[in-house]
A and B are shown apart, each in its own frame.
Chain A
Amino acid sequence: MAAAKRPALPVILLANDLLDGDVVFATGDAHGLCWSRDPGAALIGHDEATADRLDAFAAAELGGQRVVDAYLVDVAVEGGVPVPRHYRERMKTTGPSVRRDLGKQADLPLAEAFTRTAFARA
């Protein structure tokens, strides 16, 4: 993968599952990485070394035809949970804000947080 400008730390790695299209998050520990559909489980890259590791995992997984559109996203850590700083990526993390009833994201705490902050006065 051509190295796009890396976002500011801390970061998480997200992608879409090749077969299902679902948004997935790189998770794991010192022993290895895998994908999770739970954004709360995303491994947070606080340092360059971890971000490098996530980048390398993205390249390997794209090459292995397991995911598409993998990239690093800068996050704020709120209560131990990574929340993307940009609203576009927050949307990707939570699912459509207008159909809270749908999808795997519907009952995750992050989705709730996003709903609260968006259109509060509308």
Chain B
Amino acid sequence: MYRYDEFDERFVRERVAQFRDQVGRRLSGALTEDEFKPLRLKNGVYLQLHAYMLRIAVPYGTLSARQMRQLALIGERYDRGYGHFTTRTNLQFNWPKLRDIPDILDLLADVEMHAIQTSGNCIRNVTADHFAGVAPDEIEDPRPTAELIRQWSSLHPEFDYLPRKFKIAVTGAAHDRAVIKAHDIGLRILRHPDTNEIGYEVVVGGGLGRTPMIGKTVREFLPKADLLAYLEAIMRVYNLEGRRDNKYKARVKILVHEIGTAEFSRRVEEEFARLDGPSVNADPAEVARIAAYFAPPAYEALPATSGAFETAKAGNPDFARWVETNVTPHRQQGYAAATISLKPIGAPPGDASSAQMRLVADLAEAFSLSEIRVTHAQNLVLPHVKLSDLFALWQRLGEAGLATANAGLITDIIACPGLDYCALATARSIPIAQAVAKRFADPARQKEIGVLNVKISGCINACGHHHVGHIGILGLEKRGIESYQITLGGDATETAAIGEILGPGLAAEDVPDAIERIVSVYLAQRRAGESFIDNVRRIGLAPFKAAFQEASHAVA
């Protein structure tokens, strides 16, 4: 894992001291709310419905056991004993008091964490594939790239007041688990077909929100060494030409859409040719220094199979089911990655109590070389577990209610905090997720349905990624009542797609029935081995629409 050097350490500590002073001036009345708001947002402090909220960056979703334990402590000491993992692999505390936040930031700095650039019109936390360094289909670990971008973009003076927020995601694998096509910039590490050299495919202009767009490829192959100069060229074109007159048209996706991919690409290439690449690109020694932190950990040489593991699976169907859904192959022989579902049936998606965080930290130390990942699907991953330890791990998780065997299934629902917490929300998300999960709780039924992503947002801003859910649910207000719009056919992977609306909005209590109808069409019409999304693509929306409209009691 990356470790702060003296500059990182000083930078974060200075920022804490600055914020402590800013809070002091706010409390003394020297700063008005209008003056203070942009300062607090620069440090991840929002005002939500019931309280302040602190959003803490988890760069590329990687956490150490020590960091997780510190988050548990903060949750217990300064919040209400729990936190919420988000679709951008951040952690949000829902109840911090403004007067305590400088102390919280100090505790974070103690473990090389912060809340800088988790809000505001700047380059936000850089995310990556949660199986980085682990996945067998990986070409190169995306985290050194993400860390390089983090350092380059932190307090970059030129990009501190962009037209709008800016999100970057990186994947190093063929299969996209980082939703790169729904980011302002998505980077895919690949090998050049002729030279075998490693570089990047650069995708720009993806995003969800009120105008969902799939990112467009602006450069098929960018040599690795040119990364920062090319990113700088993109940011300059956006900074100069992105709209500042209308916040709803200010994201880079609108610029790309309005001038076209070819023209956007031309302007970026022009800027790239003009700027002094060598002065912008990272020193190869620095790139190597960063990359060294992500060198594979000290694995043991293990056989490819474990007798104890196979015996445990054979003797325990519940364990076998958990392995089937929540355990992912590892590139290192004898190891696996274990997904810890934060979606127990009926619980708010992504929430973890301080006790659970502490347990995960303990288990990471015992079983996963002290490493933890946060996924954009609001789950946790222990990335390096020996096959022979999986049964013991599963037992310990089970004791804490963390062994739900549903990763990727219909009850592994992404949901934003929605109107239960969020000041922007137009409807609740969490109760919908709870109701749908309860409806499909039966493990046999979940298995029969197979991979199905349900994603729920409580407003048009789409933090719950509903546009790219196989089934998306968007909560809106319709004549003073919460109303839910269902979309179908979205896809968050390399075959990214925006879902299409099935029909009129539904009342909250009708949503589980509507999902049931949609699933029934799939089960009746699928071919052998055909997944839900493949089925939707093959048969089209019409049969689903018909079933949906039969069932819908529109709020209209």
Of the stretches A3-11, A38-46, A47-55, A93-101, the one at the interface is A93-101
Which parts of B416-433 form the interface with A (CB within 8 Å)?
Answer: 419-421, 425-426, 428, 430-431
- Min Cβ gap B469→A in Å is 20
A20 touches B (CB below 8 Å): yes
> Contact string, B334-352, partner A, CB cutoff 8 A, digits 1/0?
0000000000000010000
- Min Cβ gap B46→A in Å is 10
- Min Cβ gap A52→B in Å is 22
User: Given A20-B98, A21-B95, do A118 and B51 touch, yes or no (CB 8 Å)?
Assistant: no
- Min Cβ gap A83→B in Å is 14
Query: CB-CB < 8 A to B480: which residues of A?
Result: 85-87
B26 touches A (CB below 8 Å): yes
Query: CB-CB < 8 A to A105: which residues of B?
Result: 50
* Partner pick for A23 among B50, B348, B434, B481, CB 8 A cutoff: B50
A120 touches B (CB below 8 Å): yes
B554 touches A (CB below 8 Å): no
Which parts of A100-122 form the interface with B (CB within 8 Å)?
Answer: 102-103, 105, 118-122
Nearest-neighbor residue (CB-CB) of A86 within chain B: B480
A68 touches B (CB below 8 Å): yes
Q: Which of B32, B52, B421, B509 has the largest count of A CB atoms less than 10 A from its CB?
A: B52
- How many residue pairs, one in A and one in B, have C-beta atoms under 8 Å apart? 88
B33 touches A (CB below 8 Å): yes
A33 touches B (CB below 8 Å): no
Q: Is the CB of A119 within 8 A of B431?
A: yes
A19 touches B (CB below 8 Å): yes
Q: Is the CB of B27 within 8 A of A65?
A: yes
- Min Cβ gap B226→A in Å is 45
In the bound complex, what is the Cα–Cα distance between A105 and B426 (angstroms)?
21
- Min Cβ gap B346→A in Å is 10
Nearest-neighbor residue (CB-CB) of B420 within chain A: A96
B99 touches A (CB below 8 Å): yes
A77 touches B (CB below 8 Å): no
* Partner pick for A62 among B33, B49, B98, B435, CB 8 A cutoff: B33
A27 touches B (CB below 8 Å): no
* Partner pick for B27 among A18, A22, A62, CB 8 A cutoff: A18
Query: CB-CB < 8 A to A80: which residues of B?
Result: none
Q: Interface majority SS on B: helix, strand, loop or mixed?
A: mixed
User: Given A86-B480, A87-B480, A96-B421, do A120 and B509 touch, yes or no (CB 8 Å)?
Assistant: yes
A60 touches B (CB below 8 Å): no
In the bound complex, what is the Cα–Cα distance between A69 and B40 (angstroms)?
15
In the bound complex, what is the Cα–Cα distance between A121 and B509 (angstroms)?
6
B408 touches A (CB below 8 Å): no
Q: Is the CB of B434 within 8 A of A98?
A: yes
- Min Cβ gap A31→B in Å is 25
Q: Is the CB of A119 within 8 A of B419?
A: no
Query: CB-CB < 8 A to B435: which residues of A?
Result: 119, 122
- Min Cβ gap B422→A in Å is 10
Nearest-neighbor residue (CB-CB) of A98 within chain B: B430
Query: CB-CB < 8 A to A62: which residues of B?
Result: 33
Q: Is the CB of B98 within 8 A of A22?
A: no
A64 touches B (CB below 8 Å): yes
Q: Is the CB of A122 within 8 A of B420?
A: no
Query: CB-CB < 8 A to B481: which residues of A?
Result: 87
Q: Is the CB of A97 within 8 A of B428?
A: yes
Q: Which of A19, A65, A86, A96 has the largest count of B CB atoms less than 10 A from its CB?
A: A96
Which parts of B172-190 form the interface with A (CB within 8 Å)?
Answer: none
In the bound complex, what is the Cα–Cα distance between A114 and B310 (angstroms)?
50
Query: CB-CB < 8 A to A98: which residues of B?
Result: 348, 420, 428, 430-431, 434
* Apart from A18-B98, A19-B98, A64-B29, 18 more pairs, CB < 8 Å: A16-B51, A19-B99, A20-B97, A20-B99, A21-B51, A21-B96, A22-B50, A23-B49, A65-B32, A69-B47, A86-B480, A87-B482, A88-B49, A91-B49, A98-B428, A99-B420, A105-B50, A122-B509
22 contacts between A and B (CB under 8 A): A19-B27, A19-B97, A19-B98, A20-B99, A21-B47, A62-B33, A64-B29, A68-B33, A69-B47, A86-B480, A87-B419, A87-B482, A88-B49, A91-B419, A92-B50, A96-B50, A97-B428, A98-B348, A99-B420, A120-B509, A121-B509, A122-B509
What 8 A-B pairs have minimum CB-CB distances, sorted nearest first? A21-B51, A96-B420, A121-B509, A21-B52, A65-B29, A122-B435, A98-B430, A122-B509
Q: Which residues of A contact B (CB under 8 A)?
A: 16, 18-23, 62, 64-65, 68-69, 85-88, 91-92, 95-99, 102-103, 105, 118-122
